[in-house]
């Protein structure tokens, strides 16, 4: 049976090869393909040249004063525009010389499609954040566009119905065909990224009115995962698997998940809880592993935080539910910064307090309300110890503000001749006269 | 400023930039020349004799299914046995799609080298310049049944080679019918006795009955003309039998065929090409084929449809020559005889084929029935539009349901024929 299947498949591909050979032996096909190749080569060369010339500092860029955004749009659109111009010239040139120019006309349609696709991408780059656009461009639009092109071209040379019906093998007595496999994989892949894009779009729309982000993210994510699950189910059905087989596979997977992926499921559920609870949200400042970090992305399985050193940490969601986490921005991002200061015993405490308050009030990052305050804490061994308490609305700037305040204090104390004592040690060196 | 510089509005191309351009252009040109050389060399190959001898490939499209497809494949295999250096790829394309697909693909330069299509497709195929016009020395016309030649000529040009013909016959269930009806009156008699008759009902599909009443389809000038009196008589007969509960007139061919296969009807006015499909479900002891019932003095006049071989205009001269050679092989007496006897559903177009009743009863009936068939020349229907066919059916149905007199309807149908003829003459 398997031998028969592989023989049929081999025969099919052998026939495809032979058919292609037959077509390319025809003068009408040769002349059309040659013309299209010439046009594409010219378009490729010219567009590369133009792309080079519009680079910052290059000839055309200076001449036409092209900025980087415009340069990017030109880069995307130049080849399809040139392609359309050249292919139109070729069509009018060849229509009077060849009876058959169907392939050239077909190429024209494909180039037009290419232009539409590039136009869409350019508009996306214009109106949406570059990083997100780039992500969906590479992951969704490129595979979608090229799938359409490849299917269209193949359709001209290959009997796609026959190709689709080629049997690849059997799973639990269910016949898997080539068409069903490709269709299921491709549509599932595109479906996943389409849903991701849709989620981002809805997030963008729904969060404009200061709605609770955590609940929105969680809801959108749950809907997305549900739809992905539905997509997987439809793909498996499309693949030719019946309900019994799907039940058997999911049963097996459940056991596998139970034993092997316990942690993943735990993290997944923790992620959903975190999102709905709203305990953490992107942008929150938390203390993790004795380090102040900012939450960058709240995923269903893990949370990504970024440290002051711009290092990303991926933390499993369960961590946040099973251990205590300090958040500086839970319900209120305002935090208090305490600076200990010691002055000599000859200094006037009232004056010191006044200077410290003035310094705190002068710093633009320090909040006016709650007001900064200074406390005389203790009388130390060699200094009178004060504590300056100021309030900040962004925990991330804590270190920078502390540094600014310390510098200002040092300069003010120097100006007012206030000593900052430091521990002094007298070292007595005994010399041995007998030596 | 560098003496190599080239400036526009104060913006200059420096020497370095120019050198980069030159090197880039060189690269592009180098690749371009390589592609050009590759393509030209592949073009040149097609002209060499070495390749001719070693690698010859042909692509064929047909619409045969089941046993017919298998026999057709065997014919191709026997050709490949004779010429092992020739590789034939044959593909099935649905009969309803083959013409349009041929036209679309040939516009691209693709499509088969050779295809088997019904004669009526030649009109569209030639209009779109998809098929090759054959030269008189490409084809030996004396080899084919004269009636089939009417259906390959278009404005005095030959566009195809006849391969086989299709005709309507009377299929019956041998288990239920011991002695099949030979005449219309016998058929009605058996229907009254409880035998169920299924007849495909439309203007074209019932034209076979016109011959039973001595009717003709052409006037003295050879133009399309329906004998008004004969058609009226035939329509009156149909109107009467339509009231019989055991005689079913239906436009739905598939439905009637299924009912016949399911033993729900005993007689079915089937097309010869349907016999293959019927044989899949009915055994030799069950399926009987006989002549269409005759009238009092005249026999039935079923319409003949020629299955033709056409050649792609865009094929290379070498492929066209090869395809012609293959078509000559397929239509030679020996292969046509084999094709007819083994399929028992295809009537050979070769005039020299002799069908012995002892070898195949069914094929003999088909062959003999075709001798009384009417082949409508392609030139006469070249200007017939889908609307005209629809109008004919409209008049046919109005007569059948008693809403119009048959003579009046026949006159209207002849008006359509006249208009088509006027258009033909104008061209």
Reported confidence tier of residue A125, pLDDT bands at 50, 70, 90: confident
Q: How many C-beta atoms lie closer than 10 Å to residue B276's C-beta?
A: 20
**Same domain, residue pair A250 and A290:** no
**Binary contact (A99, B129; C-beta < 8 A):** yes
Which of chain A's residues have a Cβ under 8 Å away from the Cβ of B87?
18
Chain B residues whose CB is inside 8 A of the A33 CB are: 39
Tokens of A416: 């007012």
- Cα B332 to Cα A108, A339, B119, B328, B367, distances in angstroms: 45, 109, 19, 6, 17
Query: How many beta carbons lie within 10 A of that of residue A286, not counting itself?
Result: 21
Pairing of strands B86-92, B56-62: parallel
Tens-digit pLDDT string for chain B (427 aa): 444 444 544 455 556 656 666 666 666 565 655 555 555 545 444 444 434 445 689 999 999 988 899 999 999 999 999 999 999 999 999 999 999 999 999 999 999 999 999 999 999 999 999 999 999 888 889 999 999 998 999 988 999 999 999 999 999 999 999 899 999 999 999 999 999 999 999 999 999 999 999 998 998 888 889 999 999 999 999 999 988 889 999 999 999 999 999 999 999 999 999 999 899 999 989 999 999 999 988 999 999 999 999 999 999 998 999 999 999 999 999 999 999 999 989 999 999 999 888 888 999 999 999 999 999 999 888 888 889 999 999 999 999 999 999 999 999 999 999 998 888 887 7
Q: Do B39 and A62 touch (CB under 8 A)?
A: no
Q: Does one domain contain both A342 and A371?
A: yes
Selected residues 9-28 of chain A with any CB under 8 Å from a CB in chain B:
15, 18-19, 21-28
Task: Give the residue on B whose Cα is nearest the Cα of A19.
Answer: B59
Q: Which of A105-119, A313-327, A364-378 has the lowest mean pLDDT?
A: A313-327
Domain match, A7 and A150 both: yes
Scanning the structure block, which residue is given the tokens 């709203």? A278
At A218 the pLDDT is 76
Spatial neighbors of A403 by CB under 8 A, at least 6 apart, are: none
Instruction: Say yes or no for a CB contact (<8 Å) between A100 and B9.
Output: no
Residue of B nearest to A30 (CA): B43
Q: How far apart are CA A72 and CA A77, in angstroms?
A: 9
In a domain, A223, yes or no: yes
Residues of A with Cβ-Cβ distance to B40 under 8 angstroms = 34
Please check whether residues A180 and A113 belong to one and the same domain: no
Q: How many CB pairs under 8 A join A and B?
A: 99
Q: Domain check: are A52 and A84 in the same one? A: yes
Strands (E), A144-299: 167-171, 174-177, 285-288, 291-298
d(CA B172, CA A389): 108
Torsion sign over Cα A160, A165, A168, A172:
positive
Domain, as residue range, for A291: 280-327
Write the residue in B21, B91, B319 that is nearest to A25 by C-beta.
Answer: B319
User: Which of the residue ranges A6-15, A99-108, B262-271, B344-353 would you say has the lowest mean pLDDT?
Assistant: A6-15
CA distance A194 to A196: 5
Same domain, A4 and A82: yes
Q: Is B46 exposed, middle or buried (0-12, 13-18, 19+ CB in 10 A)?
A: middle
Q: What residue spans define the domains of chain B?
A: 6-45, 53-166+308-375, 168-301+383-426
Q: Do domains B53-166+308-375 and B168-301+383-426 have the same CATH topology?
A: yes
In Å, how far is B231's CA from the nearest CA of chain A?
A: 45
- A26:B315 CB<8 A: yes
Task: Show residues of chain A in contact with B39, CB under 8 Å.
Answer: 30, 33-34, 37
Contact A18 B57 (CB under 8 A): yes
Residues of A whose CB is below 8 A from B50? none
Residue among A19, A34, A159 whose CB faces B39 most closely: A34
**H or E segment and range at residue A332:** none
CATH topology of domain B168-301+383-426: D-Maltodextrin-Binding Protein; domain 2 (3.40.190)
Whether residue A99 sits in one domain with residue A25: yes
pLDDT at A434: 54
B39 → closest Cβ in A22, A37, A156: A37
Which of B11, B43, B108 comes nearest A63 by C-beta? Answer: B11
Top-level class of domain B53-166+308-375 = alpha beta
Asked whether the whole model's pTM tops 0.80, one would answer: no
**DSSP secondary structure, A340-352, as one string:** EEEE-TTS-HHHH
Distance CA B70, CA A20 (A): 25
Q: What residues in chain B have their Cβ under 8 A from chain A's Cβ atoms?
A: 8-9, 11-13, 17, 20-21, 24-25, 28, 31-32, 35-36, 39-40, 42-43, 46, 55, 57-59, 87, 89, 91, 104-110, 113, 129, 313-316, 318-319
DSSP code, position A249: H
Which residues in B lie closer than 8 A to residue A30 (C-beta atoms)?
A: 39, 42-43, 46
Answer yes or no: do A52 and B24 touch at CB < 8 A: yes
pLDDT of A278: 72
What are the tokens at A348?
A: 């006037």
Same-domain check for residues A76 and A148 = yes
> Shortest CB distance from B21 goes to which of A37, A38, A49?
A49
DSSP three-state, residue A367: coil
Give A97's contacts in chain B (Cβ within 8 Å). none
- Considering the domain architecture, whether residues A23 and A148 belong to the same structural domain is answered as yes
Q: Do A48 and B9 touch (CB under 8 A)?
A: no
A99 interfaces chain B, CB cutoff of 8 Å: yes
A318 falls within a domain: yes
Distance, CA of B231 to chain centre: 26
A246 and A180 housed in the same domain: yes
Confidence of residue A43 (pLDDT cuts 50, 70, 90): very high
Asked if residues A287 and A334 have their Cβ atoms less than 8 Å apart, the reply is: no
Per-residue pLDDT of A212-256, as tens digits, reads 766 787 788 889 989 998 999 898 888 877 777 777 777 777 776
* Whether A62 and A42 share a structural domain: yes
Residues of B in contact with A159 (CB under 8 A): 91
* Residue A126 within any structural domain of the chain: yes
Would you call B28 and A106 a contact, using CB atoms and an 8 Å cutoff? no
Number of domains in chain A: 4
From A264's Cα to the closest Cα of chain B, the distance in A is 52
**Residue A207 carries which DSSP code?**
G
pLDDT for residue B47 = 43
In SS3 terms, chain B reads as CCCCCEEECCEEECHHHHHHHHHHHHHHHHHHHHHHHHHHHHHHHCCCHHHHHHCEEEEEEECCCHHHHHHHHHHHHHHHHHCCCEEEEEEECCCCCHHHHHHHHHHHCCCCCEEEEECCHHHHHHHCCCECCECHHHCCHHHECHHHHCCCEECCEECCEEEEEECEEEEEECCCCCCCCCEHHHHHHHHHCCCCEEEECCCHHHHHHHHHHCCCCECCCCCECCCHHHHHHHHHHHHHHHCCCCEEEECCHHHHHHHHHCCCCCEEEEEHHHHHHHHHHCCCCCEEEECCCECCCCCCCCEEEEEEEEEECCCCHHHHHHHHHHHHHHCCHHHHHHHHHHHCCCEECECCCCCCCCCCHHHHHHHHHHHCCEECCHHHHCCCCHHHHHHHHHHHHHHHCCCCCHHHHHHHHHHHHHHHHHHHHHC
Verify that A9 and A82 share a domain, yes or no: yes
Residue B11 to residue A59, Cβ atoms within 8 A: yes
Is A112 contained in some domain? yes
Give a yes or no: residue A397 inside a domain: yes
């Amino acid at each position: 049976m398997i031998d028969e299947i592989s023989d049929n498949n081999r025969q099919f591909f052998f026939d495809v090869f032979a058919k292609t050979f037959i077509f390319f032996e025809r003068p009408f096909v040769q002349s059309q393909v040659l013309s299209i190749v010439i046009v594409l080569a010219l378009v490729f060369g010219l567009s590369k040249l133009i792309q080079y010339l519009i680079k910052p500092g290059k000839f055309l860029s200076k001449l036409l004063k092209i900025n980087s955004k415009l340069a990017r749009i030109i880069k995307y659109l130049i080849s399809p525009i040139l392609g359309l111009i050249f292919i139109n010239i070729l069509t009018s040139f060849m229509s009077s010389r060849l009876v058959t120019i169907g392939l050239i006309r077909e190429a024209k349609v494909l180039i037009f499609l290419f232009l539409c696709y590039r136009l869409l991408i350019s508009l996306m780059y214009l109106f949406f954040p570059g990083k997100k656009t780039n992500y969906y461009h590479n992951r969704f639009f490129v595979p979608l566009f090229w799938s359409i092109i490849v299917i269209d071209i193949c359709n001209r040379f290959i009997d796609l119905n026959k190709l689709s019906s080629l049997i690849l093998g059997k799973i639990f007595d269910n016949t898997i065909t080539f068409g069903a496999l490709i269709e299921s994989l491709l549509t599932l892949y595109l479906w996943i990224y389409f849903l991701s894009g849709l989620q981002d779009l809805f997030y963008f729309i729904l969060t404009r009115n200061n709605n609770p982000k955590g609940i929105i993210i969680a809801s959108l994510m749950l809907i997305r995962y549900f739809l992905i699950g539905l997509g997987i189910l439809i793909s498996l059905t499309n693949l030719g698997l019946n309900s019994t087989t799907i039940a058997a596979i999911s049963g097996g997977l459940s056991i596998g998940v139970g034993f092997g992926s316990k942690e993943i499921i735990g993290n997944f559920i923790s992620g959903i809880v975190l999102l709905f609870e709203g305990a953490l949200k992107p942008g929150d400042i938390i203390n993790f592993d004795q380090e102040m970090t900012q939450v960058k992305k709240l995923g269903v399985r893990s949370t990504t935080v970024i440290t002051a050193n711009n290092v990303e940490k991926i933390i499993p969601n369960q961590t946040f539910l099973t251990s205590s986490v300090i958040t500086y921005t839970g319900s209120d991002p305002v935090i208090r910064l305490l600076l200990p200061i010691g002055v000599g015993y000859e200094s006037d405490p009232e004056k010191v307090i006044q200077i410290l308050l003035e310094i705190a009030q002068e710093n633009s990052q320090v909040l006016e309300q709650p007001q900064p305050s200074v406390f005389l804490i203790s009388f130390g061994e060699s200094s009178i110890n004060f504590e300056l308490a100021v309030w900040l609305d962004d925990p991330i700037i804590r270190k920078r503000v502390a540094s600014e305040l310390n510098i200002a204090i040092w300069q003010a104390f120097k100006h007012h001749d206030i000593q900052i004592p430091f521990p002094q040690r007298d070292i007595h060196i005994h010399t041995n006269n007998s030596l | 400023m560098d003496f190599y510089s080239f400036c526009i509005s104060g913006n200059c191309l420096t020497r370095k930039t120019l050198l980069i351009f030159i090197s880039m252009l060189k690269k592009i040109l180098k690749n371009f020349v390589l592609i050009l050389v590759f393509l030209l060399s592949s073009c040149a190959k097609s002209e060499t004799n070495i390749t001719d001898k070693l690698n010859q490939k042909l692509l064929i499209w047909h619409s045969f299914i089941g046993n017919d497809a298998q026999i057709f494949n065997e014919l191709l295999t026997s050709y490949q046995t004779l010429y092992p250096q020739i590789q034939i790829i044959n593909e099935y394309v649905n009969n309803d799609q083959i013409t349009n697909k041929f036209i679309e693909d040939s516009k691209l330069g693709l499509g088969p080298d050779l295809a088997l299509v019904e004669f009526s497709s030649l009109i569209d195929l030639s209009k779109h310049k998809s098929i090759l016009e054959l030269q008189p020395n490409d084809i030996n016309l004396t080899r084919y049944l004269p009636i089939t030649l009417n259906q390959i000529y278009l404005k005095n040009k030959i566009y195809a080679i006849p391969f086989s013909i299709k005709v309507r016959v009377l299929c019956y269930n041998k288990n239920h019918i011991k002695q099949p009806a030979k005449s219309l009156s016998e058929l009605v008699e058996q229907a009254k006795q409880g035998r169920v008759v299924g007849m495909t009902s439309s203007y074209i599909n019932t034209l076979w009955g016109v011959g039973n009443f001595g009717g003709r389809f052409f006037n003295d000038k050879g133009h399309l003309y329906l004998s008004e009196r004969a058609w009226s008589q035939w329509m009156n007969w149909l109107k009467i039998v339509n009231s019989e509960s055991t005689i079913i007139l239906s436009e739905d061919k598939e439905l009637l065929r299924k009912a016949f296969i399911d033993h729900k009807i005993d007689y079915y006015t089937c097309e010869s090409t349907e016999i293959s499909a019927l044989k899949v479900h009915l055994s030799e002891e069950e399926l009987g084929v006989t002549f269409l019932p005759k009238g009092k003095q005249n026999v039935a006049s079923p319409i003949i449809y020629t299955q033709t071989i056409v050649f792609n205009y865009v094929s290379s001269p070498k492929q066209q020559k090869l395809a012609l050679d293959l078509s000559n092989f397929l239509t030679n007496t020996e292969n046509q005889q084999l094709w007819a006897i083994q399929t028992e559903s295809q009537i050979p177009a070769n005039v020299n084929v002799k069908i012995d009743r002892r070898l195949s009863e069914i094929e003999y009936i088909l062959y003999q029935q075709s001798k009384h068939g009417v082949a409508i020349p392609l030139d006469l229907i070249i200007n017939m539009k889908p609307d005209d066919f629809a109008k004919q059916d409209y008049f046919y149905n109005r007569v059948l349901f008693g809403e119009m007199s048959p003579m009046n309807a026949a006159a209207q149908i002849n008006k359509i024929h006249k208009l088509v003829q006027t258009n033909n003459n104008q061209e």
